[in-house]
Structure 1
């Protein structure tokens, strides 16, 4: 039962961008659904124009058509807009390559993995590499001689640097090849700012902001709340990535995860109301219909202003940035939860330490803030730093995540329509790791509250009922959610095994997901969750249905298992666990159904399946398979010797 880890591919794809998975394949279908298809050919023609103003116009127009218009974006891709824009990065005119970088940056963000891979394959790193020393030199000049260039020129450099860095960032999450190629560029000089200069600037800011309200107000006005919080979250993530910090940077007992990351990021994930965000998005989209962008009237004078965005687009972007910040915080916390202490590590502690680990605390009063206070980071609201287990009280830990997994009106589109998707799957990944970590500490007082179990179980299923199991074209995100959710359900089931009352609907859904999936890990999670539900002592019917389903996964003397080796091993292990105590009320199903005979028929098939596992490439699975095989043989012998 694995924990969710950080995902490199598409990890930072904007949660509110419009995907194109709802579109039928092929350029013809894209042309039919694009409202701006007539603009594509002129744009591509002017991209190669001898007139630099036309080349610049083409880059600006492409940049705008890329955003939230997947049909037109696909048409531009069909005309090799990626290759043309990469060529324009080496243009003789500065304004052209500046605009080309902005368009490529938007392509990275909106187009996702496939376009980033195309850029890498078309050698975008070659021209980008040449920009690194130029940007570094310009930034150093700004520090050394602040008045050497006018403000508008500095702004152009800053925006261009941001675009280049964003492209590097997106490419880094495309593949290890791209990441290694970017590593090879070497960023020790990007920017090439002397440590003494950076330190002097920091010292100046420190003095200027020490009880000096005019300076404080000025600096605050230059830093948007959303960008500041994103920077705040990124700093936490960077420290987590490079921890443990080398001495003397950290105190002897300082733990980055428990003392820094959790107490600072937990308020961030509690700060956004998805319902309020969705309502505002819907209002802005309605307004946007009356605020069309006229491609031919794009300004080409002087420097680009706000990427030529409309007022509604800028406000939508602000909302998007808030959700991206929450999503990033969730991903960082997912990594923290994935590294909570294992039972083995806890067993090595002394009694006093173990008691401290198991002593949960917290007020559990987290709630959604209104949108206008969406990123309030008042330190008084943060939990007191301490042992990670102490600070992870179950109510305060889980409540904001349960809020974030509830789908909204924009989570899933109707068939063949675009969708804006809030960070539902990131919250589910956090829950997955939390409950799997808590399941490794079954004696924790945190898990003793049965009423909390019913509340958590009910809210997860309430969320999943809104997701639904009917997955239409363009709604593939539902499948992703279910694949993560079954791991959450298994984790909750393991913690409160035997205390969750199974319903016919829940059992049926878990079985149908297991049957529909071709992913062995998803099948294993479904089987694990069913195993936990089967152990409710008074639910004889559910126990019989689940056990019969698990028995159908087993091989017979003449045929192999209908599922893969790993689900088979999990099913055998589940049946042994369910019927390990013959005194339980539901054990009557084992006896009346003659499950012992069916298990005996599966032994040889299980032996063959385990024997076929490659010990070198699947060592852990091989060991687990051998253990379950031996347990099955011993279990059958034990049941035969029982006398009722």
Structure 2
């Protein structure tokens, strides 16, 4: 059962804001699905105009056209709008540059990885990094003599800084190559200067700087080292994160952008911990003293159904509002021009994204892993693998995925785990807007994207909580069967509401199930023997296991079924599950079509289920001739284990575990034979 960890290959903290997976691929399909096809060519032509006013207008028009419109975004991308906008970053007119950066920023946020990767490949960093010292110098002058600077001039620079920083943040999540290039710019002093002057600056660029810092310090040693090396940076972060604690009521009423800043600084501190001595910060328990007191009220204060209903009302109101001609050269709109309704929608989206961020940080805290040694040598790694293997052997019902680390909860963290469960349960239930309807986009894609991300993040956090509880057995928790049934039923209620629809645009539904099955496995392990198998639940888990292409998802399904099979008095449920597990085993020396990892888990599950011959359901083992079926699988299991390539990532651990399970299988067969039952 693997803990949810942030992986470098899946780094994006702000997932695609306006998803487009429901759209067919290709430029032609984008042309057919976009309602603004005719507006594209004039924009691209004016982007190259000799008139600076027309170039500025074209840059603004891109932002207006792509708003909540993935078809038009794809169409513009296919017409090389990214390259055209990057060219405008070296324009002779500053106003054109400002609007070009704004449009590129919006493309990054709305479009996600693909557009960011295209920007990086088209060398956007070369002009962007020239802006950093210019912004820094200008801000220094403003802060030194703000009264002498016109408000409008300051506003433009602040917005420009926000857009540049946000673009750098998105690019840093694109790939290791982009991250390494951004590391070379050495952004930490620049970004920290915004946080240090937060009381004198607008909130937007300060929050953007904190978001960029949060991403850059995520498992990225150069940025971590830069922050650790400056005690002033650490004190600044602590002062923001340790501002007056929020009650649930205060969290509801506070400006979501202010809350987001506090959450981000808590995340940054967690990323760079342990904090180095001799500073006072080194004595702070980041999780106990900062993360939990700050984040628990935030995730407890939000009602997703209320926000969803409010968004529905706002979108309905927006549809009835008169629309200004946004593409008129005469009116020359600004890219930040928003109606009251749009501003209200953005505030709600910020609140949702802050909850999502809080859940992401809590997921790390609930993993209760030791702080990584960023300069670990090979010997240490080998010792860690051996330790993990020992934990696996001792607790086969709490296996980790091969790329995760095993550890027990720290004393300071184990006590809070159960108290987080109720607010997390409230966040896993989908609303009207949580997932797009079949074959059509959401009526407000940013809200749908944020809501589905919250549901999944809440489940990831629960996954780590129940793994932590399962790996450090707590008799009082296991004895509270009523709580076990409640959590189990709530997860299933949520999954039933999500549904099993598939197809383009429904990928988040599938992801919800993939995370949830790990939660079910964790719950099953904590309350093993207390959860009676429901025929429908068992059938769905078997179907989901068979349809999964990822072997780790199959392992989780098998692990969950294993816990259900151990309900003492469910003879029929045990038989259905056992026969399914036996179907995964090879009947000769051929490999199991289910895959090696699911096969190993199925063998382990059968041994666990029937290790106590006094259980009422053991009648199935005897009457079903399960012993003969296990004997027939021995050579096939051995061949599968021997086929594991230990040179591949995770191969050494998997091979070790496979060898252990095969030896256990042989010993178990002998044990059952000796019983003579």
Instruction: Report the TM-score when normalising by structure 2.
Output: 0.82
Residue in structure 2 matched with residue 146 of structure 1 by the alignment: 146
Residue in structure 2 matched with residue 581 of structure 1 by the alignment: 612
Residue in structure 2 matched with residue 44 of structure 1 by the alignment: 44
* Regions of 4+ moved over 4 Å: 191-202, 298-301
Secondary structure of residue in 2 paired with 1:295:
coil
Q: Give the alignment partner of residue 478 of structure 1, picking from 497, 509, 527.
A: 509
- Cα distance in 2, alignment partners of residues 99 and 468 from structure 1: 42
Measure how far apart 1:13 and its partner are.
2.6
Measure how far apart 1:114 and its partner are.
0.9
Q: Give the alignment partner of residue 455 of structure 1, picking from 486, 504, 512.
A: 486
Measure how far apart 1:295 and its partner are.
2.4
Residue in structure 2 matched with residue 63 of structure 1 by the alignment: 63
Q: Is the 8 A contact 2:428 2:494 kept in 1?
A: yes
Q: Give the alignment partner of residue 432 of structure 1, picking from 441, 463, 484.
A: 463
User: 1:9-408 residue pairs with structure 2 within 5 A?
Assistant: 9=10, 11-13=12-14, 17-190=17-190, 225-250=255-280, 254-291=284-321, 292-297=323-328, 307-339=336-368, 387-392=412-417, 394=418, 396-408=419-431
CA deviations 1:56-96 (Å, max 9, x no partner) are 00110101112211111111111111111111111111001
RMSD of aligned Cα (Å): 2.8
- Cα distance in 1, alignment partners of residues 559 and 89 from structure 2: 53
Q: Give the alignment partner of residue 434 of structure 2, picking from 411, 414, 439.
A: 411
Q: Is the 8 A contact 2:275 2:282 kept in 1?
A: no
User: 1:546-561 residue pairs with structure 2 within 5 A?
Assistant: 546-561=577-592
Pair 235,515 (structure 1): closer, same or farther in 2 beyond 3 Å:
same
Segment of structure 1 superposing worse, 106-115 or 192-201: 192-201
Segment of structure 1 superposing worse, 545-554 or 468-477: 468-477
Pair 153,300 (structure 1): closer, same or farther in 2 beyond 3 Å:
farther
- Cα distance in 2, alignment partners of residues 246 and 114 from structure 1: 38
* Alignment of 1:598 onto 2:629: yes
CA deviations 1:281-339 (Å, max 9, x no partner) are 111111222333422347877xx867122222211111100000000000000111112
CA deviations 1:116-171 (Å, max 9, x no partner) are 11111111111101111101111111122223421111111111011111011111
Pair 112,188 (structure 1): closer, same or farther in 2 beyond 3 Å:
closer
Q: Give the alignment partner of residue 566 of structure 2, picking from 524, 535, 539.
A: 535
Q: Is the 8 A contact 2:55 2:96 kept in 1?
A: yes
Q: Is the 8 A contact 2:43 2:58 kept in 1?
A: yes
- Cα distance in 1, alignment partners of residues 316 and 620 from structure 2: 58
- Cα distance in 1, alignment partners of residues 331 and 271 from structure 2: 42
Pair 611,477 (structure 1): closer, same or farther in 2 beyond 3 Å:
same
CA deviations 1:581-636 (Å, max 9, x no partner) are 00000000001111111111111111111111122331111110011011000000
Residue in structure 2 matched with residue 620 of structure 1 by the alignment: 653
Pair 612,183 (structure 1): closer, same or farther in 2 beyond 3 Å:
same
Pair 570,137 (structure 1): closer, same or farther in 2 beyond 3 Å:
same
Paired residues, number: 583
Q: Give the alignment partner of residue 671 of structure 2, picking from 611, 633, 638.
A: 638
- Cα distance in 2, alignment partners of residues 495 and 631 from structure 1: 23
- Cα distance in 1, alignment partners of residues 329 and 358 from structure 2: 36
